[in-house]
């Protein structure tokens, strides 16, 4: 039997909430109110600290310089008075590779810097910092393509990825985002192998007040098929379809997920309208291999890069841009429901270098 989880009820008001006529309580509540949460740009910079420090460690180790930042500039590498020479470019190459930017993207960035240094007659290393930020932004810019879920109804999003990448949590956060935009959402628990995955998705459904269609065991394609038909009948705006995690080397599981996509197309012509691959930012260059494998199997249309706050490998986004460009729809840097945001290259690069 398929299970239909009803939308969750609105949470009751806190007992600490002040009454309309309780001036004293209002003052007490105001005094006890937590400090305002930092904005996204500030949280992103904090989340990318490990990658930023990886650059610092690489450079500091090469120069025998202390690790850290000086005046917002990477210590040693872009230090005041440092001359632009081949030794500088070699150290920069080491730093970029250590941050998982990848060989191809690193070569592109360094050539861009060399050309700009010659063209603009740059002599001081500090001048290269903004040049590097511009080059990185230019490399990433084509991947910044916001997801538009208003082109179809229901708009079906299929999520895929390896085990532990954060698919189910991403679905919960996307559901919250779409709900905040005034859209109706339905979740399909297509990971029928793990009871914990289904329970986690149901918890997100209750939290967001959306319906979850699930099955205790059986064919994941059948669950998603049923969910799409239910969405059509109810006039739902967005369907988010979870799938079980799988390694790209598990050929039988990769064939299974191809079947899931074919069945989605039978349930609704033209669906899925978006195939999102969820990548764990901690995996570095392996994330690039995942993009290539899942794209070959499914035709990936967008990426979600999670857990960048726990990784020193944030440079892999540049590697993807160079080696196998796929639009990056969202990046994640924390557990809070609003810690998943649309990818904006200038903002991302600023958090890496400023």
Dihedral sign computed on CA atoms, order 230, 275, 222, 9? negative
Mean pLDDT within 164-179: 95
Question: For residues 203 and 8, what is the distance between their CA atoms, to the nearest angstrom?
Answer: 9
Q: Give the pLDDT score at 142.
A: 97
Dump pLDDT digits (tens) for 265-276. Answer: 999 999 999 999
Q: For residue 214, is it left (φ>0), alpha (ψ between -120 and 50) or beta? A: beta
Q: Give the pLDDT score at 323.
A: 96
Dump pLDDT digits (tens) for 112-155. Answer: 999 999 999 988 888 888 899 999 999 999 999 999 999 999 99
8-state DSSP, 83: B
Q: Tell me, rounded to whole angstroms, the distance of Cα 183 from its chain centroid.
A: 21
Question: For residues 9 and 170, what is the distance between their CA atoms, to the nearest angstrom?
Answer: 22
Q: Do 155-353 and 42-143 have the same topology in CATH?
A: no
pLDDT at 8 over 80: no
**124 in helix, strand or coil?**
strand
> How high is the mean pLDDT of the chain?
84
The C-alpha angle with vertex 306 and arms to 354 and 34, in degrees rounded to 5, equals 70
Mean pLDDT within 215-223: 86
Q: Give the pLDDT score at 7.
A: 45
Q: Tell me, rounded to whole angstroms, the distance of Cα 246 from its chain centroid.
A: 19
Beta bridge partners of 304: 278, 330
Mean pLDDT within 153-164: 96
pLDDT at 18 over 90: no
Query: What's the whole-model pTM score?
Result: 0.84
User: What is the percentage of the chain residues whose pLDDT exceeds 70?
Assistant: 82
CATH superfamily name and code, 155-353: P-loop containing nucleotide triphosphate hydrolases (3.40.50.300)
Q: Domain ranges in the chain?
A: 42-143, 155-353
pLDDT at 27 over 80: no
- Tell whether domain 42-143 is in CATH 3.40.50.10490: no
What counts of helices (H) and strands (E) characterise the chain?
13, 11
Return the residue matching tokens 């209002």: 26
Question: For residues 297 and 256, what is the distance between their CA atoms, to the nearest angstrom?
Answer: 10
pLDDT level of residue 26 (50, 70, 90 thresholds) = very low
């Amino acid at each position: 039997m398929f299970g239909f989880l009803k939308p969750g009820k609105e949470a009751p008001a806190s007992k600490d909430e002040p009454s309309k006529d309780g001036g004293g309580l209002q003052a007490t509540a105001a005094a006890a109110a937590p400090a305002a949460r930092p904005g996204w740009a500030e949280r992103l910079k904090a989340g990318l600290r490990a990658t930023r420090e990886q650059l610092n460690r690489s450079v500091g180790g090469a120069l025998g310089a202390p690790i850290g930042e000086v005046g917002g500039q990477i210590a040693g590498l872009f230090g005041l008075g440092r001359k632009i020479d081949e030794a500088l470019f070699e150290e920069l190459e080491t730093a970029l590779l250590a941050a998982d930017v990848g060989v191809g993207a690193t070569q592109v960035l360094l050539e861009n810097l060399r050309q700009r240094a010659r063209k603009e007659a740059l002599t001081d290393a500090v001048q290269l910092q903004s040049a590097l930020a511009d080059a990185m932004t230019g490399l990433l810019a084509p991947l910044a393509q916001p997801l538009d879920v208003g082109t179809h109804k229901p708009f079906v999003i299929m999520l895929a990825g390896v085990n532990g990448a954060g698919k189910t949590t991403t679905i919960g956060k996307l559901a919250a985002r779409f709900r905040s935009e005034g859209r109706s959402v339905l979740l399909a628990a297509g990971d029928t192998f793990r009871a914990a995955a289904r329970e986690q998705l149901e918890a997100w459904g209750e939290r967001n007040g959306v319906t979850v269609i699930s099955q205790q065991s059986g064919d994941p394609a059948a669950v998603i098929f049923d969910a799409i038909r239910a969405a059509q009948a109810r006039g739902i705006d967005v369907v988010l379809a979870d799938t079980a995690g799988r390694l790209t080397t598990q050929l039988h599981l990769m064939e299974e997920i191809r079947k899931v996509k074919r069945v989605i197309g039978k349930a609704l012509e033209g669906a899925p309208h978006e195939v999102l691959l969820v990548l764990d930012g901690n995996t570095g260059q392996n994330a690039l291999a995942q993009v290539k494998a899942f794209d070959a199997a499914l035709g990936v249309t967008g990426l979600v890069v999670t857990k960048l706050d726990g990784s020193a490998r944030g440079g892999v986004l540049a590697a993807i841009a160079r080696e196998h460009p796929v639009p990056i729809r969202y990046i994640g840097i924390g557990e809070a429901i609003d810690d998943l945001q649309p990818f904006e290259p200038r903002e991302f690069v600023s958090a890496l270098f400023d």
